[in-house]
Amino acid sequence: MKPERLEVTRTTLPPFEEYCREIRPLWDSCMVTNMGAKHEQFEAALRERLCCSYVTLFANGHLALEAALSALDLPKGSEVITTPFTFVSTTHAIVRCGLRPVFCDVRLSDGTLDPDAAERLISPRTSAILPVHVYGNICDVERLDALSRRHSLRLVYDAAHAFADSFDGHPAAVYGDASVLSFHATKVFSTVEGGAVCCSSPEMCSKLKDIRNFGIRDKETCVAVGGNAKLNELQAAMGLCNLRHFDEAVAARQAAAAIYREMLAAIPGAPQPFPSGCSYFPVLFASQALRDTAALELDRNGIGARKYFWPLTSDMSCYSGFDKGNTPVARDISSRILTLPLFPGLTPEDIHRIVSLLPV
């Protein structure tokens, strides 16, 4: 019998009956959007979970990131220092907000933005820094905070990978002027689609709510030219359910990652696990050729590993008109990295099958 295909991740869903119970009141109220009861309950639960004063929910993580940048009122055409070692959404948000990305190199130790390299890129045109907590590796938040304050820059974190991760006992969501989360189906915590902006400023929170809901404050008052980026009640209900099972899901991912590490350590010449939280299990090969060979062999055998992140966003054709920057470390990691399947329900037998197919 042909083994089940294993994708790089699998959406975490609550027990079906539990979700049905959660959404049952929506059939009574017919209130399925526009910041209803489930939406408010979910925002409150996230504020508590993330130790964050203000959490503003959005329909998805990309709209949340665009809203965070828009709410800061950065000068149009100004520069935002960011990493090319990320999903394209990070760079797209900058450009779609009328800003220019300046690509900065990353640290070999964890793939996050290099504060020293970032400081060298600051110019009179720089208005903000947008780092990414890659694979749940928390950026050097202390140095980046000091850097942004020293140069009077705004600091927004793309924390799409870091819902479960913390620094010095504090959740990733509390850092910067804002931290942006994604609750996409591929993430360790999911509402199927969804996202949030976390911040400590009531003024910024108010702006975010205006951006999210057409600038409407009440039935007769519209104070800003906003859009429509509301998280609906069905998504919020999914979030409430998944939040109850989140620690269990994290523990399952951590257990699977530990098995990967044990198996890889026993094989001379095997790719090395790259630092990560529980969102992904990336490994670093000795060369791009070995990485590409591994990806093809896994795919032929029904295993959907992914080259996260290849190519760099700075190399995407849509950014051909922008300076690619000097990012040799990011380029090196990108050419050799491969993320292997990781999700609750992945068995030791699955992991053994995956590891046995890796070239050494």
Cα distance from N-terminal residue to C-terminal residue, the chain: 28
pTM: 0.96
Query: Rounded to 5 degrees, what are φ and ψ at 344?
Result: -60, 135
**In sequence order, what are the residues at sequence separation of 6 or more whose Cβ sits closer than 8 angstroms to the Cβ of residue 331?**
312
Instruction: Give domain limits for the chain.
Output: 16-244, 246-356
Which CATH class for the 246-356 domain?
A: alpha beta
* 334 SS3 class: helix
* 167 SS3 class: strand
Which CATH class for the 16-244 domain?
A: alpha beta
Say what the pLDDT of residue 18 is.
Answer: 98
Say what the pLDDT of residue 89 is.
Answer: 98
Say what the pLDDT of residue 2 is.
Answer: 66
Angle at which helices 328-336 and 288-300 cross, to 10°: 30
Q: How far apart are CA 238 and CA 190, in angstroms?
A: 8
Contact 56, 212 (CB under 8 A): yes
Residue of 120, 156, 124 lying closest to 139 (CA atoms): 156
* 292 SS3 class: helix
Say what the pLDDT of residue 4 is.
Answer: 84
- Residue-level length of the chain: 360
**In sequence order, what are the residues at sequence separation of 6 or more whose Cβ sits closer than 8 angstroms to the Cβ of residue 282?**
135, 273, 274, 276, 308, 337, 338, 339, 340
Say what the pLDDT of residue 360 is.
Answer: 86
Say what the pLDDT of residue 7 is.
Answer: 96
**In sequence order, what are the residues at sequence separation of 6 or more whose Cβ sits closer than 8 angstroms to the Cβ of residue 100?**
77, 78, 79, 80, 94, 125, 322
Partners of 57 in the beta sheet?
196
Q: Over its length of 360 residues, how does the chain's per-residue pLDDT go in tens digits?
A: 667 899 999 999 999 999 999 999 999 999 999 999 999 999 999 999 999 999 999 999 999 999 999 999 999 999 999 999 999 999 999 999 999 999 999 999 999 999 999 999 999 999 999 999 999 999 999 999 999 999 999 999 999 999 999 999 999 999 999 999 999 999 999 999 999 999 999 999 999 999 999 999 999 999 999 999 999 999 999 999 999 999 999 999 999 999 999 999 999 999 999 999 999 999 999 999 999 999 999 999 999 999 999 999 999 999 999 999 999 999 999 999 999 999 999 999 999 999 999 998
